[in-house]
Chain A
C-alpha cells in the first residue's frame, strides 16, 4: 500500500501544467506546532531523496512557514496539518509564485487555500478547488478531472 505522500505525488502526475524532471516539493510546516512538525518529519523519513511519478521526481525540502515566504524556486508545496491561521500566508505565496499546492487536510482545499487535497481512507478521494487551481495556473489531465471531486 503506497503512503499518502506517494499517492499525492501520483496525483501530481496528472497535473498538465507541471514541467517534467526533478521538481522541488516544499514541505511547509510550523516548528511551533507539534502536529505540523511531526507531519513534516514523517514525510521526510518516508520520502527520502524523492518520489518518482511518471516523468517527474518530487524532491521534498522542509521549510517553515516564514521561510516559505522568502525562499523561491518551488514548483510544488505540501501543507502539513495544524498550520492554523498561517495557511492564509502560505496560500498568498502559492498564488503569487504560481505553486501547485497539495495537502491531506481537505478542509484547506474546501476553504480555497490549497488546490488539491487527497483523502486515502477508506477509499481514495481527491478534491480540487477550481478557483485555487485557476489562480495558480494549474491545469489537470482531462480524464483525471472526471474522476475527482471539483469544488
Chain B
C-alpha cells in the first residue's frame, strides 16, 4: 500500500515556499450576506452562487432546518423536489434522488464538509450516525443528478453535502434538549471558541428512543428478533486557523456510537450498532498558482448487525465488519484572465474490510483518480462548464477463501476498473429574472465491498449444517448513470418569489440487484450464489417543479412537485419469488410516480409557526416475511403526511417549541416493514 501522506508533504512544501498573501478558503457567511444568496463549491469545486451553478442544485439554509422542527436529516430532505424518503424505523430512513430508492440506498453520496459519510461496506448512509448536530449546519446542498466528475464513485443519482459553520469565522452557541413520543430523549450542544487566531467548534449530543411498535404484524415478522432501541451519541471537534498569512490549516475529528433498525435491499430487517471514528486534516492556500488545497481523512467503522433471517437452527446471523477508508485529495483552482476558471485535482483512496459472517478474508481496493474542470464565462449572460474525471480502481483480497467457491484471491488481485465520468453545463441568463440551464452528466455507482466479496453468508439446514453460501463477485461492474436535463428558473421579483421547472432523462446501465433467481456459481460441496448481480438497465424521465416566496413580511411559502416514470429493461428482476410482477428490484414498480410538498410559515415577534404536508403516490413493493420464508406483494397506498412546528421565544436566549412528524395519522404504512407512527416533541433551545 502506498502512503497517502507523500503527496501531502509535497503540497505543503509548495504552499509554504511562497505565494502572495491572499485569502484561502471561502467565507460562506460573508459572501452570502454580500450576494444575498447561498454560495457553494459543491457543483464544480469553484465558489459559485446558487443561481449560477451549472448543475441542478438546491440549498437548504440553517433557518429552513430549524423551522422544520425535524429531529433527523431524512425528514428535512424529504420536503424538497426530487427527493424520496423510505423510512424503515424511527432511527433509520433511506433517501433517494430521482427514484430507485431501496433499503440501504447506494446511489446517493453523502458528505460532511466534503468528507464522505457514505459507508462503503454496504454502500449506504446511516443518517443516525452522522457526527453533526442539526444546529451546527450552515447549509445542506442537494445535487440532483450525477456529480462523479467532482466527487468520484457513488455520486450517481445525486449528492448531499452538509456544510457546518466555520469555526474560524462563525460564532455558534446553542444547547438544546428535546423529549417526545416513542420515549424520545435528546440533548446536544454546540460552541465555538477563538484562541490565538484559531477557531474551535465543539459539538456533542445524544438521543434515545423506542422504535415503532407494530403489534398487529407480529406474525409477519415485522417485529423482528434482535430489534434494537434506536440511539446515538456523537461528538465532533472542528478547528481552523491561519498558520501563515496565506495558509489555513483545518482539523476535524469525530466519534459516533449509534444503533438502529435498517431495512436491507431484500426488505428484511438488520439490527445494527455502529462505532464510527474519523479524523481529517486540510491545508488550503492562496498562491500565485491559485487556491491550492490538500485534504486527507480516514473513517474507521466497526459495525455489528443481526440479520433478521431465519434459517434452520440459526434464527439470526451476525455480521461484524471493520471497514476503513482513507482518502487523500489535492486540488488547484485557478483563473486565467477573468473568464476562465480551472480546477485540477488528484485523489488517492484506500478502502478495505474483513469478510463476514465467515471470517478469514479481507477485501479492499486502491483508487487513483485525476480530474479537471474548466468554467468559461463566455459573456455576462452565458457560461459553459465542463468537468472530467478518471478513476482507476484496483481490487485486492487476502486471507482464506471458502472451499468450492471457484474464485481465488488472484481473481481479485488481477481485477481493475477504470471509469470515466463527466459533467457539462451551460447556463444562459435570458434576462435578469430568467435562467436556462442545460446539463449532461455521467456518474458511477461502485459495487459495495460486500458486493465485491466481503459478504460470505452461509445458509444452514435444520441440522445446522452449511448447505449454501452467498458471496460477492470481483467481476461486478459499476452502475453507470447518464443524466440529461433542461431547467428553467424565473424570479417573480414583484411577488418576492421564485420558481424552477426541470425536466430530465436518465439512463442507468448495469443496475446492481440481488440474485433472487438463485443463479448458482457452484453446487458442490454446497450451493454457492452471488449475492449481487449486474442485472439490467433502467431508464427514467421526470419533471420537477419547485417554488418559494414570501406573502408578506410574516408569511412565506414553499412548494414542489416531482413526477417520475421508470422503465426497467429486465422485467424479471427479482420477480421469480413473488407472483404478481413485483420483485425485489422492480424499480419501475417500487418508485412513487408523484410527490407533492407544500409548506407555509409564519413569523412575527416571538412566534414562529410552520406547517408542511407531503403527498406521495402509491407504489408496489414486497414484504419479506423472513429469509427463505417467502415474499408477498405489498401495495403502499397514496399517502399524505403532515409535519410542523410552533415556537415561542421566551427571551432572546431561550426558545420553546412544539413540533411533530406525521401529525395526521397515528400509524401509517409508508413503506414495507414497521408502520410509521405519529411523533411529537417539545424542545427547549438556549442560545449563548
Contacts and interface: CB of A to CB of B under 8 A. Distances in A.
Interface of A: 2, 7, 10-11, 13-14, 16, 54, 121-124, 126, 128, 130, 139, 141-147, 149-151
Given A7-B34, A150-B339, A16 B22 contact: yes
Task: For the complex of A and B, list the 9 residue pairs with the smallest distance between their C-beta atoms, beginning with the closest.
Answer: A150-B338, A141-B23, A143-B26, A143-B47, A10-B34, A142-B286, A124-B35, A122-B432, A122-B493
Contacts of B21: 16
A123 B51 contact: yes
A110 to B, nearest CB: 10
Nearest to B491: A122
B63 interface: no
A145 B31 CA distance: 11
B30 A16 contact: no
B39 interface: yes
Given A10-B33, A147-B48, A141 B22 contact: yes
Contact of A124 (B20, B34, B46, B493): B34
Contacts of A145: 335, 338
A143 B31 contact: yes
Contacts of B47: 143, 146-147
B291 interface: yes
Contacts of A14: 23, 30, 34
B493 A54 contact: no
Nearest to B28: A143
B433 A143 contact: no
B290 A142 contact: yes
A123 B36 contact: yes
B339 A122 contact: no
- Kindly name the residue among B26, B34, B47 whose own CB sees the greatest number of chain A CB atoms within 10 A: B34
B280 interface: no
Interface in B1-38: 20-23, 25-27, 30-31, 33-37
B79 to A, nearest CB: 25
Given A16-B22, A146-B47, A146-B48, 6 more contacts: A13-B34, A141-B286, A142-B23, A144-B31, A145-B335, A145-B338
- Kindly name the residue among A54, A139, A143, A149 whose own CB sees the greatest number of chain B CB atoms within 10 A: A143
B213 interface: no
B640 to A, nearest CB: 35
A116 to B, nearest CB: 12
A139 B23 contact: no
Contacts of A54: 30
A112 B88 CA distance: 61
Contacts of B20: 139
A147 B52 CA distance: 9
Contacts of B337: 150
B194 interface: no
- Kindly name the residue among A11, A139, A144 whose own CB sees the greatest number of chain B CB atoms within 10 A: A144
Interface of B: 20-23, 25-27, 30-31, 33-37, 39, 46-49, 51, 286, 290-291, 333, 335, 337-339, 341, 377, 380, 432-433, 491, 493
A57 to B, nearest CB: 16
Nearest to B31: A147
17 contacts: A2-B33, A7-B34, A13-B30, A13-B34, A16-B22, A122-B432, A124-B35, A126-B34, A139-B22, A142-B23, A142-B290, A142-B333, A143-B31, A143-B291, A144-B23, A146-B335, A147-B48
A147 B49 contact: yes
A149 B377 contact: yes
Contacts, number: 75
A102 B129 CA distance: 48
A142 to B, nearest CB: 5
Contacts of B432: 122-123
A11 B31 CA distance: 9
Contacts of B433: 122
B336 to A, nearest CB: 11
A151 B339 CA distance: 8
Given A123-B432, A146-B48, A16 B23 contact: yes
Contacts of B34: 7, 10-11, 13-14, 124, 126
A11 B26 CA distance: 14
A143 B25 contact: yes
A63 to B, nearest CB: 26
Contacts of B27: 143
- Kindly name the residue among A13, A123, A130 whose own CB sees the greatest number of chain B CB atoms within 10 A: A123
B31 A151 contact: no
B271 to A, nearest CB: 45
Nearest to B245: A16
Contacts of B37: 123-124
Contacts of B36: 123-124
- Kindly name the residue among B20, B25, B30, B339 whose own CB sees the greatest number of chain A CB atoms within 10 A: B30
A7 B47 CA distance: 19
Contacts of B51: 123
A43 B253 CA distance: 47
A11 B33 CA distance: 10
A123 B433 CA distance: 9
Nearest to B493: A122
A124 B37 CA distance: 9
Contacts of B377: 149
A124 B291 CA distance: 24
A151 B338 contact: yes
Contacts of A123: 35-37, 51, 432, 491
B496 to A, nearest CB: 11
A54 B290 CA distance: 23
A142 B48 CA distance: 12
A144 B24 CA distance: 11
Contacts of A121: 493
A100 B341 CA distance: 25
A149 B380 contact: yes
Contacts of A151: 338
B195 to A, nearest CB: 18
A14 B34 CA distance: 10
Contacts of A10: 30, 33-34
A62 to B, nearest CB: 25
Given A122-B433, A122-B491, A149-B380, A143 B23 contact: yes
Contacts of A7: 34
Nearest to A148: B338
A23 to B, nearest CB: 17
Contacts of A2: 33
Nearest to A118: B34
A69 B262 CA distance: 74
A146 B46 contact: yes
